[in-house]
Amino acid sequence: MNNSDSNSSLDSRFNQTLKNVQGLLKGRSIPGKVLLTRRSDKLEELSPRERSPSFERSFSENDAGTSERTDMSREAEAKNTSKSYTDLSPNTFKTTTSNVEATSKEVQKTPIGARATDSARVMKFSKQLSGSTVILERLRELAWSGIPPYMRPNIWRLLLGYAPPNSDRRELVLRRKRLEYLDSVAQFYDIPDTERSDDEINMLRQISVDCPRTVPDVAFFQQPQVQKSLERILYTWAIRHPASGYVQGINDLATPFLVVFLSEYLEGDIETWSICDLSAEDISKMEADCYWCLSKLLDGMQDHYTFAQPGIQRLVFKLKELVRRIDEPVSRHMEEHGLEFLQFAFRWFNCLLIREIPFHLVTRLWDTYLAEGDALPDFLVYIFASFLLTWSDKLQKLDFQEMVMFLQHLPTQNWTHQELEMVLSRAYMWHSMFNSSPSHLAS
């Protein structure tokens, strides 16, 4: 078989595997691993015994409908498949990337939001939440593909470790943590400036300037009471985390939590919400939940917001290496024109794409973020590579100044769930290919 036939066959299997992953993302569980090989036989997912590095994305018997015997045969087949990716050229991945958009047309036949609200998936979530103890790994498997909106507050609290898995302890723990937050607000925020240091006064002033700038295109966030709640949360967090203090961008990270935990008290579309309709007690509960969940999220990426933000710089370098391996032409084009990844990707990591996509898609994206758990920082690299390479062909036609302007104002304003699912599908595929093969990303 010549090289063109081989690449054509590989492209075909890649696209078929991508379709399989997208099908799995529509509501079934996530496979443990996806293989990309040069074998001529049909590709199949590995058995539940082969786990993803981030968490156990496995088939259950109910999800996959497979018997133990089938699993064993797949495992045996997987053991015989030892071909690595070292013989795949960068152009191979360029070719397969260019075919993704055609594949996405089939995904777009699915109605918006159907995945998260599908009755079978809702039943699976209900079953996981109904037990005396929630099994978090199974909850993560389900949450990765999207959470029904009305279940999101409870599930986010569980995924972040703020609410305990044991249902008997949950209400007591939440009550205690909410009181602790109120005590912190009284101790650090509800005091006159004469009792603050100069640094604390400057920090509070910076937060009060940033709050009105947060998600400016969503009217809800312009309500004074919403901005006051955001200010209390951010200042209290910064005082209790002196190693980093407040860093611009953390204000964006609090907004998904505000929306999700307010949805427990307000009905309808966010554009119709008024926080003034809530009692002081409900507002304090919402703020406490936002505060603790933001704390849990940032605990997993502490060096992203300390001096010089080394964690973000490290991930930007990994992103550059991954893009070079997946799409060498666009990587070379950017390098030849002197465009550094830090010039655009730093904001992506700092704000976790909140400023780059329509806000109504953010909570769906964060379902996947929180399902990744401790593995989130490394998985962000794959999501952002997939996000960037959505415009691979476009970028190669632009000069330096045009690329900078384009990447600062990406045309995502009309994106729907389908475009976001394509980004996540590609990210999952590339994570499966490269995450266990770090040598492929070495310069």
Per-residue tokens: 4: 């063109």
Q: What confidence score (pLDDT) does residue 334 get?
A: 98
Q: What confidence score (pLDDT) does residue 435 get?
A: 82
- Alpha-carbon distance of 360 to 263, in angstroms, equals 13
Point out which residues pair with 166 in neighbouring strands. Answer: 133
Q: How big is the CA angle at 314 (ends 312 and 320), to the nearest 5 degrees?
A: 100
Q: What confidence score (pLDDT) does residue 270 get?
A: 94
Specify the CATH number of the domain 310-441.
1.10.472.80
Q: What does the pLDDT profile of the chain (443 residues) look like in tens digits?
A: 555 555 555 555 555 555 555 554 444 334 333 333 333 333 333 333 333 334 333 333 333 333 333 343 333 443 343 333 334 444 444 444 444 444 344 333 344 445 555 889 999 999 999 999 999 999 999 999 999 999 999 999 999 999 999 999 999 999 999 999 999 999 999 999 999 999 999 999 999 999 999 999 999 999 999 999 999 999 999 999 998 999 999 999 999 999 999 999 999 999 999 999 999 999 999 999 999 999 999 999 989 999 999 999 999 999 999 999 999 999 999 999 999 999 999 999 999 999 999 999 999 999 999 999 999 999 999 999 999 999 999 999 999 999 999 999 999 999 999 999 999 999 999 999 988 765 655 54
Domain locations in the chain? Answer: 3-107, 150-299, 310-441
Which residue, chain included where needed, has tokens 């078989």?
1
Per-residue tokens: 332: 């070379």
Q: What is the pTM of this model?
A: 0.76
CA gyration radius for the chain?
23
Q: How big is the CA angle at 193 (ends 190 and 196), to the nearest 5 degrees?
A: 90
What is each CA distance from 154 to 158, 170, 232, 363, in whole angstroms?
6, 10, 23, 14
Q: What confidence score (pLDDT) does residue 180 get?
A: 98
Q: Which fold has domain 150-299?
A: Helicase, Ruva Protein; domain 3 (1.10.8)
Which residue, chain included where needed, has tokens 């045996």?
76
